[in-house]
Amino acid sequence: MSRYLTGRIGQAIVVVWAAFTLAFIILYLMPSDPAQIIASGGLQGDAGSEASEQQLDELRAQMGLDQPVVVQYVTRLIDTATGNWGTSYQTGRPVTEMLADNLPPTFAIAVQGLLIAVVVGMLLGFVATYTRFGPLRQLLYSLPSVGASIPTFWSALLLIQVFSFSLRLLPAFGNDGWTSTILPAIALAIPVSAIIAQVFGKSLRTMMAEPFLDTARAKGASRLRAMAVHAARNALLPVLTMVGMLLGALLSGAVVIETVFGRQGFGRMTVEAVNAQDIPVVMGVVVFSAIVFVVATLVVDLLYPLLDPRIRQTLRPPRRLLVKAA
């Protein structure tokens, strides 16, 4: 088990490193001059205060931008590994500090969104498989594909329209209190729950055709009991795999959602950093996202054996790297 864990953590580090390197290459190739950006106080800075070529050179030397690429890469890599993630060109604040400020509000809506998605998605999948009433079954089967294809910004606007403007139940914008997290969380949850409903429903239906379900029915178990006790736990495994990957959907969803709801958070910060070509912040976002992915996949893999005793015996690092996180 500990050997398995060491192997997996080793893989996780490789994935994060690969994400870092890829981001470095792309950002380095970008036709922009960080010194220019800083000197003009970000892109929003007034164009009047043009810095002289000499000032720019000083800035470049100060930031190590005049060094060869390899040296820059190694310096950055070591800095990142040791927790020095640089300072934002825009705000001049350390990137780690900005992350610490912007993560909690995003975390709040992402966790709520995931919870809602898991509960609603599994409920939908279960009822769709359980019901034998044709029209309801058809409706429940088609809901997920509708949910998955609605653009998030549109469902967000719809939610605001109904719950904030018409019913006046919940605030439409901002970061004030827990009530302001409900609508963004629901908007985030819609596509994710749709995917969970599809995967769980499909996997339940597969399980219902397994011979061991017949065994359960032959014991006198009701359809509900057979499904809830025997099929559901087996059908949970693919869902668990999905949840790890769906974190990505939640993070990228946050970008849109936070913009629509005018919330401060990780997504908003990412958008602003990209627009301003704030390279240290963008790098921070990439590396942080990679870490989130890698940790989520690891947690999911460690949960597997708890759900499936067959895996407990054969725990060992998989041969291939998990590329999905990168």
Q: Note the residues at the interface with another protein (CB under 8 A).
A: 210-212, 214-223, 225, 229-230, 233-234, 307-310, 313-314, 316
DSSP string, 261-275: TT--SHHHHHHHHHH
Cα–Cα dist 207/235, whole Å: 7
Closest CA to 151 of 247, 248, 251, 256: 256
The least CB distance from residue 129 to another protein, in Å, is 13
In angstroms, give the least distance from the CB of 308 to another protein. 6
Please state the closest distance from residue 274 (CB atom) to another protein, in A.
44
CA distance 29 to 161: 43
Minimum distance from residue 214 beta carbon to another protein (Å): 6
CB of 234 to another protein, least distance (A): 6
Name the residue nearer to another protein (CB basis): 50 or 214.
214
CB closer to another protein, 60 vs 223: 223
- CA–CA separation, 294 and 103 (whole Å): 17
Cα separation, 306 vs 315, whole angstroms: 12
Give the three-class secondary structure for 66: coil
CB of 309 to another protein, least distance (A): 4
Nearest to another protein of 168, 310 (CB atom): 310
User: Which residue type occupies 287?
Assistant: V
Cα four-point dihedral sign 43, 44, 50, 54: negative
Contact 112, 183 (CB under 8 A): no
Nearer CB in complex with another protein: 97/214 = 214
Nearest to 246 by CA among 84, 113, 102, 134: 113
Shortest Cβ 160–another protein spacing (Å): 43
Q: Decide: 253 and 152 in contact? Cβ < 8 Å.
A: yes
Identity of the residue, 93 or 219, whose beta carbon is nearer to another protein in the bound complex: 219
Q: Which is nearer to another protein, 9 or 229 (CB)?
A: 229
Give whichever of 93 and 233 is closer to another protein, judged by the CB atom.
233
Q: Which residues contact 182 (CB under 8 A, 6 or more apart)?
A: 112, 170
- Using an 8 Å Cβ cutoff, are 40 and 49 in contact? yes
